[in-house]
Amino acid sequence: MSELNNIVLKILSNGKGILAADESTGTMTKRLGAVGVESTTENRLLFRETLFSSESMKKCIGGVILYDETIKQNSKSKKTIPELISTSGAVPGIKVDTGAKVLAGSPDEKITEGLDGLRERLKEYYKLGARFTKWRGVYIISDKYPSKLSIHSNAHALARYSSLVQESGMVPIIEPEVLMDGEHSAEDCLIKTTKVIKECFEELNKNNVDLKGVILKPNMILPGSGSTKKISNEEIAKLTLKCLKNSVPKEVPGIAFLSGGQTEIEATENLNLINKYNDTNFIMSYSYGRALQQSAIKFWSKDIKNIEGTQKIFNHRANMCSLAAQGKWSKELEAK
């Protein structure tokens, strides 16, 4: 067992998943603004520290993805944020891409940037305590998209990033997100997501990335948010499994889904059904941002000093996700 594989298993085993707390300052400002809280450095830290010091960090959260601002901050207990996360038994991680920009040659699409100077930044993040990283590629669906150019360019960037990350002794999360925006059917999402993921692994192999030391963070197979062709949660689970069986090499130890615009309950229910039907050796877990934090941030915004109450809301949501990662969740448990 390689050290990288051990890190993956520590993050995703026993119903644990990932808390994606890597919102940029701009995104966090929007989230806080939506609930009427001023986005100051102190308030951003206070909300995140409230979650990072909650009870569910010990049994439900195996890893936390941080943003550059947060990984360099200290908690109230004078521990650094990575130390606070490590104390609970979870692994600190870091988002390392610098965002999606217009793709030259296909201006409707995006390419993720951040490879320049990445080797040096990774050394710094490793010293700060990070042991895994995240890079997100984004793809749109329409009659002509994602284009071959977008599929190849983003896969190549994800592979180069992964190779540098493993060189630095950390686990790369590979996040090729095919966006929910649009009127496409779930069948169309299945075909295009399969293509995207296959290309990613072709590029990872060309770059000699050790597949036993990566985590895939894909979207679930869903109809577009503007589609009239809705499907059942069972169909979502079965199509998602079909996609992953056809596109992910068996060496990959774990898959941690993004929630991608689903509500907390939808993201939990769909993950639960994926695990009920899962007949693969892949660990199927979660890497959720909003689908773990939405209720907690709404509650917290009413009184940002009510740490205990906010943690109670977060603990419940994390516990529900953890049960879903084991196929043990049910709607009745939500009311308890």
- pLDDT per residue over 267-297, tens digit each? 999 999 999 999 999 999 999 999 999 999 9
Residue 1: predicted pLDDT: 57
Is residue 308 part of the annotated active site? The answer reads no
Active-site entry in 10, 16, 195, 217? 217
Under 8 Å CB-to-CB from 74, ≥6 apart: which residues?
80, 81
Q: How far is CA 98 from the centre of its chain?
A: 16
Active-site entry in 175, 199, 203, 269? 175
Neighbours of 16 (CB within 10 A): 28
Report the amino acid identity of residue 254.
G
Q: Residue 201 pLDDT > 60, yes or no?
A: yes
pTM for the model stands at: 0.97
Number of separate domains in the chain: 1
CA separation for the pair 9, 58 (Å, rounded) = 15
Is residue 203 part of the annotated active site? The answer reads no
Residue 77: predicted pLDDT: 87
Domain span at residue 263? Answer: 3-334
The size of the chain, in residues, is 336
* Cα atoms in the Cβ-side hemisphere of radius 13 Å centred on 126: 15
pLDDT digits (tens, 9 = 90+) for 140-196: 999 999 999 999 999 999 999 999 999 999 999 999 999 999 999 999 999 999 999
The CATH number linked to 141 is 3.20.20.70
CA separation for the pair 232, 301 (Å, rounded) = 34
What is the average per-residue pLDDT within 246-257? 98
Residue 335: predicted pLDDT: 83
pLDDT digits (tens, 9 = 90+) for 59-93: 999 999 999 999 999 998 899 999 999 999 999 99
Residue 115: predicted pLDDT: 98
Categorize the per-residue pLDDT at 336 as very low, low, confident or very high, splitting at 50, 70 and 90: low
